Structure formats: structure tokens, C-alpha cells
Structure 1
Amino acid sequence: MSQQPVQQPPKRQSGLNSVLVALGPEDAERVTRLAEEAIDIAGPADATVVINHVFTHEEFESRVDTLGFDRAPSDVSADDVARRYSPVRALAAKLDEAGVDYEIRGAVGDYGERVVSVAEELEADLVLVSGRKRSPTGKAVFGSVAQEIMLSAPCPVTFVRADTK
């Protein structure tokens, strides 16, 4: 009697494939720290970094006007705005310098919800979020948005504290 080989489910590659770097309206001064962490984590793993900037509805409309697109605002996507937004470009430049692959994604809506949604869509292996230094008492609890992401994300989340030099 011959035995049939047992079909094994495909194995997921071990390691890190994608790192989502979440940028929000207050992260412009934190780009350097986020870039350092993304490079340190994604570089050795040859992972792709996805830079994701989430805009509120009001911020998105304002940026479409400010950035001077040559088409109707209704034809401008969140990805288009994110690609032109200076904190995103600054982070992308640092990743370019380090030779780390990246892509840029924009999103509009509630920051925490949209970051989690994008992480789910991408099947991200890790999310990087940033925040400011807190007082000793404030250290016990992260900001509400960072906490929402940490509790809801489909993957591990690393909190990157901003430099306070």
C-alpha cells in the first residue's frame, strides 16, 4: 500500500516583510526618530516600509488647496496628498539615503481607526507610532490615539518617543 504525501498548508515566510510607519498631524518634528527606528528595524530584514499619513477631513481639504494640484479636488487622492506632504517627503528621503524600500499611503478619517485599517489591509508585521515625552505620571498611560492603535492593531506596535533635546 503506497502512502499519499500529506498536503501541508503553505508556510508563511518567517521574519519581517512590512513595517507601517504611522504619521499624523503632530509628527513633523518626530520624522527623524521614526526614520531611525524604521531603518534600524526594516533595513536588516530587507522589509518594505509603508509610510502612512492620516489626514482629518479638514486637514485633507486644506492640504489639497495648499499643495496646488492641477486637477479638481475630487480627483485628488489621499495618496497624492501624502506624496507631496513635507513630513512624508522628509521620511522618504531618509529611507532613500539608507537604501530602504518604501511606499507611501495616505488616508483620511480618524487617525487611530485608519492606521489600524491600513495595517490590516497591508497585513503589516509591525506598526511604528510616535508620541511626545510625558511627565512621570503621564508615562503610565500612552496618548489615547497611540493606545487605541496598540490595543486594536493586528500586529505588534512599537511606540517611538520623540527626542526632547
Structure 2
Amino acid sequence: MGLENVLVAVGEGDEDRIESLARTAIDIAGPAGATVELLHVFSKDAYGDLREKLEFDPDSEVTPDDVAKRHTTIREFGDMLTEAGVEFTWHGRVGEKEEEVVDFAEDAGVDLLIVGGRKRSPTGKAVFGSTAQAIMLNAPCPVTFVRSD
């Protein structure tokens, strides 16, 4: 059984690591012919602000998936995947990143999860960021951690 779907979790604060996350996803999913599931998790406040900023029709039914699809981070990521010939889908969720990512990974039955984080201070090198650590400890599949410097 090979690698069929790879989940890449992004959220607020991941904008500066989109290129390294995309490169990792392409390197892993491309040769395997796997589909990349892009998941953008919004905080409740950020979701409301972004939904307003994107000027959706107030009378239309808008889902977190719709907002994620139009979010700059997902669009840039999708452009890189398309250019590399990697198939992808996008999804949006509102809530705590670690909970939403783990729940999505379980529900979608993903084979691998890719999550990013930042370089830690010398005293914190043994510890990943709390969100990334919670995802790694609770994920239902292997996790690849992409560190941004």
C-alpha cells in the first residue's frame, strides 16, 4: 500500500514557510502520485475578518472551504503544486489548529501529515512549538515536520 494522500496543515503564522512546505509536499507526493490535501485552519476572529475582507456576497452561503480557496496562502501553495504537476484539494476549518488538523487527518484517512514550525531558541531546541508538538503526538499517521529558520 503506497502513499495516496498527504495532508499539509497551514494556519496563521505559516505564511513565511509556504515555499518550504510546498517544496516538501511536492518532493513527497509528486513521485508517489499522491494527492495533497491543503488544510487551512482559521481562528474564529481571523475567519470573520477574512470573510469580510474577501467581500463575499452577504446573502450567499460561504463555507470555510470557500474562504480557504480564496486565501492568498492556499492560492500560492496551489500554484506551486499545479506547476509541479501535483494534484491537490483545499479545505478550510475554523477552530484550534491542532484539534482541527488531527480531526481532519482521522476523517480523511491521510497517509502522511506535513506541518511547519519555527526554529526554537537554544533552550527550546528539544521541544517543537506547542501546536506542532500536539499535532505530532496525536496524529493518526506519520508526521513530517518542516522547520523554518
Q: Which interval holds the TM-score relative to the shorter structure?
A: over 0.9
CA–CA separation in structure 2 for the residues paired with 1:138 and 1:72: 48
Matched, 1:115 2:108: no
Find the counterpart in structure 2 of residue 53 from structure 1. 40
- Which residue of structure 2 lines up, in the alignment, with residue 33 of structure 1? 20
> 1:133: which partner in 2?
119
Q: Percent identity?
A: 53
Write the distance in 2 (CA, Å) between the matches of 1:137 and 1:20. 30
Q: CA deviation at 1:16?
A: 0.3
Task: Pick one of 129, 144, 148 that aligns with 1:158.
Answer: 144
Find the counterpart in structure 2 of residue 5 from structure 1. Answer: none
Determine helix, strand or coil for the equivalent of 1:70. Answer: coil
Does residue 1:42 correspond to 2:29, yes or no? yes
CA distance in 2, matches of 1:72, 1:88: 24
Distance (Å, rounded) in 1 between the aligned partners of 2:42 and 2:130: 17
Structure ranking higher in strand proportion: 2
Q: Which residue does the alignment assign to 2:89?
A: 103
What TM-score results when the alignment is normalised by the length of structure 1?
A: 0.88
**Which residue number corresponds to residue 11 of structure 1?**
none
Distance 1:72 1:57 in 2: 20
Residue 104 (structure 1) shift: 0.2
Residue ranges of structure 1 left out of the alignment (5+ in a row) = 1-13
**Which runs of 5 or more structure 2 residues have no equivalent in the other structure?**
none
The amino acid across from 1:64 in the alignment is R
| One-letter amino acid of the counterpart of residue 51, structure 1 | L
Partner amino acid, structure 2, of 1:139: K
Distance of 2:144 and 2:59 partners within structure 1: 38
Supply the AA of the counterpart residue of 2:65: D
SS in 2 for 1:137: helix
> Which ranges of 4 or more aligned residues in structure 1 deviate by more than 6 Å?
none
Residue 23 of structure 1 pairs with residue 14 of structure 2: no
Cα distance, 1:158 vs structure 2: 0.7
Shift of 1:136: 2.3
1:65 correspondence with 2:52 = yes
Alignment length (residue pairs) = 149
Largest Rg, 1 or 2: 1
Q: Distance in 2 between matches of 1:107 and 1:140?
A: 30
RMSD over aligned Cα, in angstroms? Answer: 1.0
